[in-house]
Structure 1
Amino acid sequence: MPNDMRREIREETAADPMLQGGIDAIVRADHGDPFSILGMHQLQAGGPVEVRTFLPGAERVWVIEADGGAVAGEMEKIHPDGFFLGRLPERRDRFRYRLRVDFPLATMEFEDVYRFGNVLGELDVHLLAEGTHLKAYERLGAHPRELDGVQGVAFAVWAPNARRVSVVGDFCDWDGRRLPMRRRVEAGVWEIFVPHAQAGQRYKFEIRGANGDLLPLKADPVAFEGELRPANASVVHGLRDYDWRDAEWMRTRAAAGERTAPMCVYEVHLGSWARVPEEGNRFLTYAELADRLVPYARDMGFTHIEMLPVTEHPFDGSWGYQPIGLYAPTKRHGSPEDFKRFVDACHEAGIGLLLDWVPGHFPTDPHGLGWFDGTHLYEHADPRQGYHMDWNTLIYNFGRREVSNYLLGNALFWLDHYHLDGLRVDAVASMLYLDYSRKADQWVPNQFGGRENLESIAFLKRMNELAYGNHPGTVTVAEESTAWPGVSRPTWLGGLGFGYKWNMGWMHDTLSYMQKDPIHRRYHHHQLTFGLVYQFSENFVLPLSHDEVVHGKGSLITKMPGDSWQKFANLRAYYGFMWTHPGKKLLFMGGEIAQWREWNEDASLDWHLTDDPMHKGVQDLIRTLNGVYRSCAPLHAFDCDPQGFEWIEANDSDNCVLAFLRKGPDPEHHVVVVGGFTPIPRENYRVGVSLPGTYRCLVNTDDARFGGSGSFTVETLETEEVPWHGRPYSVTLTVPPLATVVLERRGG
C-alpha cells in the first residue's frame, strides 16, 4: 500500500469519531454490531471498497481474491492491538475475498468471518421472535454447513439483553475479541458463520451483559454434544443423518402406547446398572448397554426401559435431574450416534425407551442458563417464583414465550431426532403449585389470587398436545403426587393431557402396609384396599421407583419385616399383588434381584446376588409376572377402566387376606387373585367366583422355584355350586403364607 494512502487512511480514521469509536469498541470486545465495522464496506455509492479486520497478533495482512488468488491489496495496521484496514481504490464493487496473514511464526490464508451474510432466514427470525419455532434447534446452536461455497459452522444463540456476544472455542484460541457475533435485533438472537470450524471442536459463548459486565463463559443451551465432566464446554456436532433400523417398530408402536396394552417399565440409571470394575469402575458405553441391558430387559419381559435423565449434567450425584445440556445425551456413555444405536437396539428387541425429562428447574452452575445474558432470561427474577429452595435450583419462566418454546422444542427433539417413545416428566407437582414447598410469605399468587401456576399448566398442556399430535404412539407420564384432577385426561376435557400419572398414593400406602409386622397388619388392611377408591380417576402407573431406595430409606427387601425367609416372602407377595393390581407397572433396577444394599449411583448393582437361589427366585418371579401380565388380557386390557376390576373379598382384615377379580375383553376369561399377608397359611379358604369351571394357577409366589416354601401347591381348582362372596360359585384353596396366588379361568 502506498505511503500516501496509509497516511490518508490514518487521517480519515482519526477524523471520523464514529469509526474510531467503533474500532476502539471492537478492540475492547465491547461492540454490539461488529458487522457494521468489520468485513467489506463501500462507504458511498461508486466509491472504493474497504476491508477491515481485527486479528490480534498479526503483523501484516493482505486481501486476496477468492477467485484466482490474486492479491487485491495490503491492509494498514491502524491500531496497535491488531486492527487492520485495507482500502482498494480500484475496486468499486464487492467481491469474494480471503485474508493472507503474517503471524510471528507462520503465514496463513483463510476466509474472513465478516464477509459472510446472515445465518438465519427471515422466517426463522420471525418464528423465533414469536416463540412458535418448534424446531428452533435446527437453527440455534452449532450447525456444520456450507455457506457461499465454504464449509464451516453456523452458530446462533438467544441472548436479547446482551451488549455483546462472541463465540469462543478451539477455532479462535478461546479469544472473545476474535469472533463477536451479529445481533438479529428482531428476535434477540446472535449469529455468526465461522468458516473452517468443524465438528468435534469445543466452544462456548462469551457474553457481556447489558450493564457491561463480562459473564462467566456460557455453554450452548442448544448444544447437541458436551464435554465429559468435569469439563463443561459444548462440542460442535450438528444434526447428523443416521441410518435408523427401526422403521417397523416406529410404524407399529402406536399399539404399544394404547391404554389397553401391557406396560411394565424397567427404570434404569445407566451409570450404575453395571460398571466395569477391572477398568477403574468405569461406566458402560451405550454400545455395551445395547449388548447387555437391552437383552436383559427383553429376557425379563419388560415392555419399556425408562432412563433416569441422560441429558448432559455436571454432577453425577444429581442422577441427571439437574441437567444443563437439555439437547445433548450425556458423554458419560459415548457420542450422540452411540446413543442412537442404543435406541435402535431397544427397538429391534421390541422394547420402548422412555426418558426422564426435567422441565421444572435447572441448576445454578455459572456456565448454565442462570443469568444467561446478564438478566433473568430463562428464570423468574423474583426468587419467590424463580428459585427452588428444596433443590437449590432455578425455575423456568414459562410465561415467557421464548422459554416455553425452548422447552417444547426440546420435548419434540427427543421424540423426533432420537426416536424415543415417551417422556416421564419429573416433579410435575412442583410445576403446578406456586406455593409448592413454600411458606405463606414465600410465594406470589396468580392473577386471580390462586396458588395454581397458570403459565406452567398451559405449558404442560401444550407439551402433551404436541407430543401426541406430532408423534403418535409415544406416551407422556407425570410424576405428580397431589390430588390435582385430570392429570391424565385429554386437554379438551379440561385435563393436563398426560397419558399416565404415577400413583404415588398407592405406593406410599402399600409400602407402609408391607413394612408393618404381620401381627399388626389387620389394623391397617385399608392401606392395601384404599387405592381402588380412586384407581380409575386417572390412568395410573404403579411405581416402585429409585426414590424409594435412596437417602437412607433402604432397599425394598430391607423394608420387609421378619427374618430373611419372611423378608423374601413378603417381597414376593407384594410383587404379586402389584403385578395383578390395576395399573401399569414400574420397577427400579435392583428390585428384581432383591438387592440388600440401598442404591448407590457410584457402584454397579450387586449382580453376584443372583448366584443365591433366594435372590434368583425373586428375579425369576419378576420374569414370570411380566410374562403373565403381558400374555393375559384381563391383567392389562382394563388397567385404566373400572369394568376390569371387582373386589371379591376386601374386608377380611382378621386373616389379612384379600381377593379380587380381573376381567378382560373376553367375558369368559377371568383372573382371580388371592393374597395372604401373614406367615400363617389359611387352609380351606373359600373364594367366590362368577363363572363355573376350572381355574388354573398362573402364579404362586410361594412356589419353590421362586424361593418359597413350595408346601402349598395350587395347580387347578374346580368350582363348586356353593354361593360365596355374593357370587353363585366358589373354589377353596390353602392360601400360602405371605403369598399371592393368581388363578385363571378361560372359556371354551
Structure 2
Amino acid sequence: WKYDGTSLYEYPSADVGVNEWGSCNFMHSRGEVCSFLQSAACYWLREFHFDGLRMDAVSNLIYWQGRPERGENKSAIRFLQNLNQGLKKRFPHALLIAEDSTAYPGVTAPVSQNGLGFDYKWDLGWMNDTLSYFQAAPSQRTQLYHKLTFSMHYFYNEHYLLPLSHDEVVHGKASIVQKMNGGYEDKFPQARALYLYMYAHPGIKLSFMGNELGQLREWDEKREQDWELEDYPLHKAFHRFLRELNHCYLTCPALWELDSSREGFQWIDCHQEEACIYVFERISDSQTILAIFNFSDMTRSYTFTCDRIRTFRLLIASDMTQFGGTCDYPEKELLFRKKTVEFTLSAFSGRWYLLD
C-alpha cells in the first residue's frame, strides 16, 4: 500500500481503490501491476510446485467493487485472461480455480472462446443450499426439498468444484459435522449421508482438513488437528467411512468420467418432497450407479422399477455398522437380480448400487 509514498499498485480513488474487506484493489490497467501479479503466481507454481491456485473473490475483478450494476472492469478481466493463459502455457497440469459468486458466463471457458480460462469454478450455490438444508430441522426439509435439486439446473454452464472448504469451518460457522441438525449422535449419520450425496453429485470434490475426522471445533491455523478423536468410536468410524468413500469414488468411473456431460447424470425421482427421498443415476460408458438417499428422520420405503431385469450390487451405504450406522446388510442385500426393488431406507442414510 502506497509502496513509494503514492498509489503505485492501487487506485488513487477510494471509490474503487478500497474493497469491502478494507484492503486495496490492484490497478490492473497498469502493465507493471499485471507483471508483478503474474510473476507472483508463477513463483508459487515454479518454485514450490503447488498443484494449482484458487483465486479469491473473482467477482471483485469481473465487476467494479463486485457489483454488476457498476459494470465490468475490462482491465481486470483482460488481466485474468492473460494470467490464466500464460500459466496454462507454462504449467499445463496446474489447477486454476475461481471463487466467484456471480452469474458471469464463461468463467471456465477457454480464453480463445472469450472465457476467463479457469479450470473450475467454486460452486457456492451448491455449498450454501446443501449446508442450509442439512442445518434445518427434518420437519422443515419438505419445504426445502428443492435446495438439493436446484444445482443441476445450472451445473452444465461451467466446470464446477463442490467446496466444503476452509471458508466453511472458520469465523463462527462451525465445522461440517457440527453444522448438522440435532444432537451429537444425530450429526454423524447426517454428515455421512451428506458426503455420500456430495460424492455422487457431479463436480470435483473438495473437503478441508479435519472434516474427515468429524472434527467438532472450528479449524484453527495455530494448532494441529484433534487426532485424539480417533479414540472415539463415532469419529473413528466416520474416518473409516470417508476413507472407503474416497476409494469407492476413485474406482467408479461412472462418478467422474462424464462429469461435464449431460449424459453422465439422470434424475430418477426428484419429487419425493414429503419423504425427503432423492434418487438419481450416474452414468459412464462402462458403468451405471444408482444413488438413493433418505434425508428424513424416519425409516422410509421406496420402490424402484427398471425397464428390464437388472443386477443390483451394493457398493457402499452410509448406515453400515462399520461406519457407525445400525444396518448390517446381509449377503442377500449385497447382490440381487430384479426388475422391481423395494428399498427400506433408514433415517439420514444413502446407498450406491452398481447396476448391471
Q: Which bracket does the TM-score occupy, shorter chain normalised?
A: over 0.9
Whether 2:315 is the aligned partner of 1:698: answer yes
Give the aligned partner of residue 290 of structure 2.
672
RMSD (Å) for aligned C-alpha atoms: 1.7
Give the aligned partner of residue 616 of structure 1.
236
Give the aligned partner of residue 33 of structure 2.
403
CA offsets per residue over residues 266-302 of structure 1, 9 Å max, x none? xxxxxxxxxxxxxxxxxxxxxxxxxxxxxxxxxxxxx
Residue 662 of structure 1 aligns with an amino acid whose one-letter code is R
Residue 412 of structure 1 aligns with an amino acid whose one-letter code is C
Structure-2 separation of matches of 1:553 and 1:435? 25
Whether 2:327 is the aligned partner of 1:710: answer yes
**Residue aligned with 2:187, SS:** helix
**Residue aligned with 1:410, SS:** helix
**Residue aligned with 1:665, SS:** coil
Give the aligned partner of residue 743 of structure 1.
353
Pick one of 356, 378, 400 that aligns with 2:9.
378
Structural mapping, 1:133-172, within 5 Å: none
Deviation at 1:412, TM superposition (A): 2.1
Residue 454 of structure 1 aligns with an amino acid whose one-letter code is K
Structure-2 separation of matches of 1:690 and 1:589? 43
Whether 2:266 is the aligned partner of 1:641: answer no
Deviation at 1:554, TM superposition (A): 1.3
Deviation at 1:436, TM superposition (A): 2.4
Give the aligned partner of residue 733 of structure 1.
343
1:702/1:712 contact within 8 Å kept: no
Deviation at 1:590, TM superposition (A): 1.1
Residue 672 of structure 1 aligns with an amino acid whose one-letter code is L
1:412/1:466 contact within 8 Å kept: no
Identity over aligned pairs, percent: 38
Give the aligned partner of residue 387 of structure 1.
18
Residue 705 of structure 1 aligns with an amino acid whose one-letter code is Q
Pick one of 96, 101, 114 that aligns with 1:476.
96
Structural mapping, 1:260-275, within 5 Å: none
TM-score, with length taken from structure 1: 0.46
Structure-2 separation of matches of 1:690 and 1:475? 41
Deviation at 1:497, TM superposition (A): 0.7
Structural mapping, 1:357-506, within 5 Å: 370-388=1-19, 390-436=20-66, 451-506=71-126
2:190/2:348 contact within 8 Å kept: yes
Give the aligned partner of residue 688 of structure 1.
305
Structure-2 separation of matches of 1:636 and 1:689? 23
Deviation at 1:475, TM superposition (A): 1.7
Give the aligned partner of residue 281 of structure 2.
661
Residue 625 of structure 1 aligns with an amino acid whose one-letter code is L
Larger Rg: 1
2:311/2:338 contact within 8 Å kept: yes
Whether 2:338 is the aligned partner of 1:719: answer yes
Q: Which runs of 5+ in 1 are unaligned?
A: 1-369, 438-444, 721-729
**Residue aligned with 2:167, SS:** helix
CA offsets per residue over residues 615-638 of structure 1, 9 Å max, x none? 111111111111111110000111
Deviation at 1:612, TM superposition (A): 0.8
**Residue aligned with 1:522, SS:** coil
CA offsets per residue over residues 240-285 of structure 1, 9 Å max, x none? xxxxxxxxxxxxxxxxxxxxxxxxxxxxxxxxxxxxxxxxxxxxxx
2:162/2:206 contact within 8 Å kept: yes
Whether 2:195 is the aligned partner of 1:575: answer yes
CA offsets per residue over residues 669-715 of structure 1, 9 Å max, x none? 100000000121223x2123466421111110001111111256641
Structure-1 separation of matches of 2:143 and 2:71? 37
Residue 643 of structure 1 aligns with an amino acid whose one-letter code is E
Greater share of residues in helix: 2
Deviation at 1:556, TM superposition (A): 1.4
**Residue aligned with 1:554, SS:** coil
**Residue aligned with 1:378, SS:** coil
Pick closer, same or farther for the CA change 1:712–1:566 going to 2, 3 Å: farther
Structure-2 separation of matches of 1:427 and 1:632? 34
Structure-2 separation of matches of 1:610 and 1:565? 16
Structural mapping, 1:19-98, within 5 Å: none
Structure-2 separation of matches of 1:702 and 1:409? 49
Structure-2 separation of matches of 1:560 and 1:542? 18
Structure-2 separation of matches of 1:504 and 1:478? 11
Deviation at 1:533, TM superposition (A): 0.4
2:108/2:117 contact within 8 Å kept: yes
Pick closer, same or farther for the CA change 1:686–1:464 going to 2, 3 Å: same
Give the aligned partner of residue 514 of structure 1.
134
Pick closer, same or farther for the CA change 1:690–1:507 going to 2, 3 Å: farther
Give the aligned partner of residue 592 of structure 1.
212
2:63/2:70 contact within 8 Å kept: no
Q: Which runs of 5+ in 2 are unaligned?
A: none
Structure-1 separation of matches of 2:309 and 2:235? 38
Structure-1 separation of matches of 2:304 and 2:133? 23
Pick closer, same or farther for the CA change 1:477–1:690 going to 2, 3 Å: farther
Residue 715 of structure 1 aligns with an amino acid whose one-letter code is L
**Residue aligned with 1:542, SS:** strand
Aligned length: 354
Give the aligned partner of residue 312 of structure 1.
none
Residue 53 of structure 2 aligns with an amino acid whose one-letter code is L
Structure-2 separation of matches of 1:384 and 1:696? 61
1:457/1:496 contact within 8 Å kept: yes
**Residue aligned with 1:734, SS:** strand
CA offsets per residue over residues 688-743 of structure 1, 9 Å max, x none? 346642111111000111111125664123221xxxxxxxxx43221222111011
Give the aligned partner of residue 360 of structure 1.
none
Residue 55 of structure 2 aligns with an amino acid whose one-letter code is V
CA offsets per residue over residues 189-248 of structure 1, 9 Å max, x none? xxxxxxxxxxxxxxxxxxxxxxxxxxxxxxxxxxxxxxxxxxxxxxxxxxxxxxxxxxxx
**Residue aligned with 2:65, SS:** coil
Structure-2 separation of matches of 1:601 and 1:420? 19
Pick closer, same or farther for the CA change 1:611–1:583 going to 2, 3 Å: same
**Residue aligned with 1:523, SS:** coil
1:704/1:710 contact within 8 Å kept: yes
1:648/1:688 contact within 8 Å kept: no
**Residue aligned with 1:585, SS:** strand
Residue 590 of structure 1 aligns with an amino acid whose one-letter code is G
Residue 554 of structure 1 aligns with an amino acid whose one-letter code is A
Deviation at 1:506, TM superposition (A): 0.4
Structure-1 separation of matches of 2:193 and 2:307? 25
1:671/1:743 contact within 8 Å kept: yes
